[in-house]
Amino acid sequence: MKKTCLVTGCAGFIGSHLTQSLLDAGHFVLGVDNFASGYVHNMDGFIDNAGFTFYERSIAEEGLLAELKQAHPDLDVVFQLAAVVSVPYSVEHPELTMQINFEANRDMLDTAKDLGISSFVFAGSAAEYGNEDRLPVKEEYAQDAEQLSPYGIAKYKSSAYIEDSGYGCSLRFFNIFGPRQDPTSQYSGVISRFVDFGLAGKNMVIFGDGEQTRDFLYVSDVVTAYLIAAGLDEQGRGPLTGIYNVGTGLGRSVHELATVVAGLTSAPEGIDFKPERAGDIRHSRADISKIAAEGFKAEVAFEKGLARTVDWAMKSKS
């Protein structure tokens, strides 16, 4: 059945992929973005699609969801991705971060529930676990985590609010990568930087010994998790309620990443090691057993996802 879906953050990296997939599947999409970190060109693939309506608005505007529901009575699914996405920015602007990443979510969730909207899916984050050293990280560990930043605190409060309400779902994503990712992102910006070094024929620069690991998930698998969570999956998986980690369950080292990208860009395999950066988490890897029990499994292999990302980066630079 075709649905009308709201995607907040539709001009961002993940939101633009989700919007494109929903439109490709024949759904209608209302997109909201204020371009705080997104770009008009991220919407090039769908801005003229008849099924897409764009609103340049902020999710912090009171009554936004009720207004959209009044204008589009069929609106039945909310994907809440818009957020302050930079951890350093959140440290400099803790109040704004709390307003966007917690209060706006809370108000939108309450409104969605009151309006009888079927699905509400929120973009949670591995940052909710702070510097957790028990691996793989299980969903319940966040309760006693010391979140390291206003970003992590606000995301954690949103996820906890969703779980307590018994309505909606928070997907806690680890490190997402793919075309259109932001090179400055704390999650996977390292991939864009390695691609830049590789294409320029320069040595890769690694901070620390390169043995730090992350759980990298390709963006199309993220879209699949969103569709499952909202009950829009073509294979009939979902919908989901509560909090779910989303990752591959595998840790990949930054050194391994540099080596694969060097191969894909035909760069020299030289690496310049620089001193470790303060505050960097050593290892991060999701326990994915909860979402795996719902039928989710990452489909795109790390090397294949990297090849697609490098290909996109090369095309966008030429």
Ligand X SMILES: NC(=O)c1ccc[n+]([C@@H]2O[C@H](COP(=O)([O-])OP(=O)(O)OC[C@H]3O[C@@H](n4cnc5c(N)ncnc54)[C@H](O)[C@@H]3O)[C@@H](O)[C@H]2O)c1
**Which residue in the set 4, 19, 21, 37 belongs to the binding site for ligand X (CB under 6 A)?**
37
**Which residue in the set 5, 6, 7, 11 belongs to the binding site for ligand X (CB under 6 A)?**
11
Judged by beta carbon, residue 13 or residue 46, the one nearer ligand X is: 13
Integer Cα distance of 242 and 249 in angstroms: 19
Pairing label, strands 252-253, 213-214: antiparallel
DSSP per-residue codes, 216-274: EEEHHHHHHHHHHHTT--TT------EEEEES-S--EEHHHHHHHHHHHTT----EEEE
Integer Cα distance of 3 and 6 in angstroms: 10
Q: Which stretch binds ligand X (CB under 6 A): 179-187, 190-198, 223-231, 251-259?
A: 179-187
Pair 21, 223: CB distance under 8 Å: yes
The reply to whether 150 sits near ligand X by the rule CB under 6 A is: no
Q: Give me the phi and psi of 251, to 5 degrees please.
A: -100, 135
The reply to whether 14 sits near ligand X by the rule CB under 6 A is: yes
Q: Return all residues near 132 (Cβ < 8 A) that are at least 6 apart.
A: 141, 145, 284
Q: How far is the CB of 246 from ligand X (least distance, A)?
A: 9
Catalytic residue among 55, 141, 151, 244: 151
**Which residue in the set 7, 22, 43, 85 belongs to the binding site for ligand X (CB under 6 A)?**
85
Q: How far is the CB of 171 from ligand X (least distance, A)?
A: 8
Q: Does 151 participate in catalysis according to the annotation? A: yes
Integer Cα distance of 33 and 81 in angstroms: 10
Judged by beta carbon, residue 120 or residue 187, the one nearer ligand X is: 187
Judged by beta carbon, residue 187 or residue 302, the one nearer ligand X is: 187
The reply to whether 6 sits near ligand X by the rule CB under 6 A is: no
Integer Cα distance of 313 and 306 in angstroms: 10
The reply to whether 291 sits near ligand X by the rule CB under 6 A is: no
**Which residue in the set 65, 100, 223, 310 belongs to the binding site for ligand X (CB under 6 A)?**
100
**Which residue in the set 43, 81, 169, 254 belongs to the binding site for ligand X (CB under 6 A)?**
81
Q: Which stretch binds ligand X (CB under 6 A): 55-63, 67-75, 230-238, 249-257?
A: 55-63
Helices (H) and strands (E) in the chain, counts: 11, 13
Judged by beta carbon, residue 54 or residue 273, the one nearer ligand X is: 54
**Which residue in the set 23, 78, 123, 204 belongs to the binding site for ligand X (CB under 6 A)?**
123
Give the interface size with ligand X as a residue count (CB under 6 A): 31
At 3, the amino acid letter reads K
Q: Return all residues near 61 (Cβ < 8 A) that are at least 6 apart.
A: none
Integer Cα distance of 143 and 161 in angstroms: 12
Judged by beta carbon, residue 22 or residue 267, the one nearer ligand X is: 22
Q: Which stretch binds ligand X (CB under 6 A): 184-192, 226-234, 267-275, 302-310?
A: 184-192
Q: What is the largest CA-CA distance in the chain?
A: 58
Catalytic residues, by residue number, are 151
Footprint of ligand X on this chain (CB under 6 A)? 8-9, 11-15, 32-38, 58-60, 81-83, 85, 100, 123, 125, 173, 175-176, 182, 185, 187-188
